[in-house]
Chain A
Amino acid sequence: MRAILSIAANQILRLAADRGALVMLVLFPITLNLILGISLQKAFSPDFRLDRPLRVALAVEEGPLATPLGRILAEEVPGDLWAVENAASADAARALVRQRQAEAAVIVPAGVPAEAIIVVSEPGTVAAGLTKEVVRETLAALVDPLAAQIPVDTEYIPAQPAGATTPVASRAMDYYAVAMSALMIFFAAARGTESLLQDRQTGVYFRVRAGGTGRATYLLGKLVGTVLTSILFMVVMAVATRLLFGVRWGDLAAWAVLTVAASLAAAGVNVVLMALIRRPDVLDGVSAAVFQVMGFFGGSMMPIYIFPDVMARISRFLPNRWMLDGYLAVAGGSGVAAILDEAAALALTALVLFVLGWSLDGAAARAAQEV
């Protein structure tokens, strides 16, 4: 155990001694956060229009005003704005959003106008803002003065005074703080696995093994160091973006659970890449390409809600997307219970990748006839 911790601590020590790491793992993502947060703020504005209809689940309860309102929302809103899917209940509508079969849900309760219409959406997306605007415009167009007074609430999105828009720049910053972290955590983890290959190339691995440290101990030490590096990276990103851009990361416990799971998954991806490639110079280039493609499909470059359906579906198979969804949910006010699915998916992926990477590395060690 002591050897494992020594190997892991050595990686952190080397990270601290490396100024290049400060640039690559802190300044670079923060700069991108700033650039994308400013340049893409329009994409987070309620005025922003997708080049396709928004998928909306509509749940209408029976009521004197609710029923006609529901019919108007289903039939009168232009088809280029909404593609409406009727849901049997409010919970069913929420489930459609949760399962990402709809980008937003509109729940019209039986008690309107005393009860508010609820717009449900994922946090950090434009869908809620857009949907809310469409509902309001539709209500305003009605002659009935009662309808114009119906409140419209949102779930997941921090409460806003009626009629106010979400603070646009801040939301883009929030999104990209998470998005850049979900991208760069893979680069942070890569430092650990690259150091493993470098150790093999420079003779350090030979020296350590000749000193009596077993292969399993050595690999575990590197793995622990890799996970710790990733966690450290997320801590630095969270603190830096909070101080610089006022980004709110949400509940600490949920954030911590997600960060551990995300760090394990990032380490797992890197372990497999390392075991497959086994040359540090090649690994560097290949990893960068893989991480960027994953980042693009996972929503780190462009917000997922503007993706075509096919790409949005692809993104659901990537750990980047799970990280993004999880962190955005936490930032939107969710606790541990709400992100358990994402955390479990990340941890399970990590486990599978660790086993795969371990087997591949073991096969390579046997081929090299290592003891």
Chain B
Amino acid sequence: MQILRAFASGGRRGRGERVPPAAPAPVLAAPARTAHREDQPTIEAAASTGIVAGAESGAPVLVVTDLVKRYGEKVAVDHVSFEVTPGETFGLLGPNGAGKTTTLAIIAGVLRPDGGDVCVGGYSLRTARAQAQRLLGVVPQEVALYPDLTALQNMRYFATLRGLRGRERDVQIEEALELVGLREHARERVDRFSGGMKRRLNIAVGLLGRPRLLLLDEPTVGIDPQSRRHILDAVKGLAAAGMTVLYTSHYMEEVEYLCRRVAIMDHGRVIAQGSLEDVRRLAGESVVLRLRVSGLATPPDWSRLAREAGCPLEMADGELRIVLPDGPRQAPDILNLLAAHGVPLDGLRLEAPDLETVFLSLTGRGLRDGEV
């Protein structure tokens, strides 16, 4: 019940509350490669004192080293390295197709890497996959459940496959359902659940076996804002309870809400990593010019406009977002350019850069679908 108690406090934090900045860490540099011995796990060596003892030791729960995955000519994961320390919620941010899910599948021990290695709790996937997998909880991007069974039947099935039996199984199921707020719905069929409830149950299954590291792959895709908030609070509660989480998303605001450290992926490579503040600094003097566009009869060629402006821009939901690398002094020129192209503006504001800005300034593209 330790997790539950911690969740009760962590889950009630104010909405939108930002996590305090972490100590500066290297940015745009490969992470320090923690030495480990494959036959003698670092954290597991301290297992006699329990998981928390391992967490307190500060040794990374997850070490991803120089990971490579190819599909023919295409390099899906290109020499990716990062570490996740105990109790940390680490964000893996990137657009669809960046290689996040492939990286996660390798970490989960389902996909064979072409190079590099992954160590979970000190166990190398190459030499001790079964031991490493025992420390993992996985929440796939899809709702990996049986809709024709009840929540409880789903939980029992996956718990049994995790090796849980009897009273221990029932206790863990109850805890996990309580954590995601579905205890009252345990005997309802999953196909009668809302999208958000299914997502929460998806997470609950991932908690079975009390994993040391929880892998969450885009857990909020396709759900309503209320359910999304519930899930984010649940993840935050888990982190408050000391669980280590690897959280992948293409929603920068989620990563900013949950994580102290992030790695941004694009085309299979980590293009930036470190604390949120360090990564934001990559945007330099950049600011974001947000322009409300209305009554646009014929949309201009946004790509051409971006080239003329010399700034990355994206158009989404009637709003034009332009990253100004040299700061606010660029704004008048951009506004004149837009006026020359007949773009009707209905309001504007300047903002400090966020992760999305960083991605936009580093790649010239937006994180989400529908970017210019």
A-side interface residues toward B, CB under 8 Å?
Answer: 2-3, 6-7, 10, 13-14, 17-18, 201-204, 206-213, 369-371
Contact = CB atoms under 8 A, between A and B. Distances in A.
B143 interface: yes
A242 B123 CA distance: 59
12 contacts: A13-B153, A17-B189, A207-B138, A207-B140, A207-B144, A208-B158, A209-B109, A210-B136, A211-B138, A369-B71, A370-B110, A370-B111
Of the listed residues A2, A206, A209, the one surrounded by the most CB atoms of chain B closer than 10 A to its CB is A206
B111 A202 contact: no
Contacts of A6: 157, 160-161
Interface stretch (B126-134, B229-237, B339-347): B126-134
Nearest to B148: A17
Interface residues of B, number: 35
Nearest to A207: B144
Contacts of B148: 14, 17-18
Of the listed residues B71, B138, B215, the one surrounded by the most CB atoms of chain A closer than 10 A to its CB is B138
A116 to B, nearest CB: 59
B330 interface: no
Contacts of B144: 202-204, 206-207
Contacts of A369: 69, 71, 111-112
Given A2-B160, A370-B112, 5 more contacts: A18-B148, A206-B105, A206-B108, A207-B138, A209-B109
Contacts of B158: 207-208, 211
B129 A371 contact: yes
B142 interface: yes
Nearest to B160: A6
B160 A371 contact: no
Given A210-B108, A369-B111, A371-B109, A203 B141 contact: yes
Given A17-B148, A204-B144, A210 B153 contact: no
A371 B110 contact: yes
Contacts of B157: 6, 10
B133 A211 contact: yes
A203 B143 contact: yes
Contacts of B143: 202-203
A206 B153 CA distance: 19
B149 interface: yes
Nearest to B129: A371
Nearest to A20: B148
Interface string B95-134: 0000000000100111110000000000000000110011
Interface string B178-191: 00000000000100
B358 interface: no
Nearest to B165: A2
A134 B136 CA distance: 77
Given A14-B146, A213-B161, A371 B138 contact: no
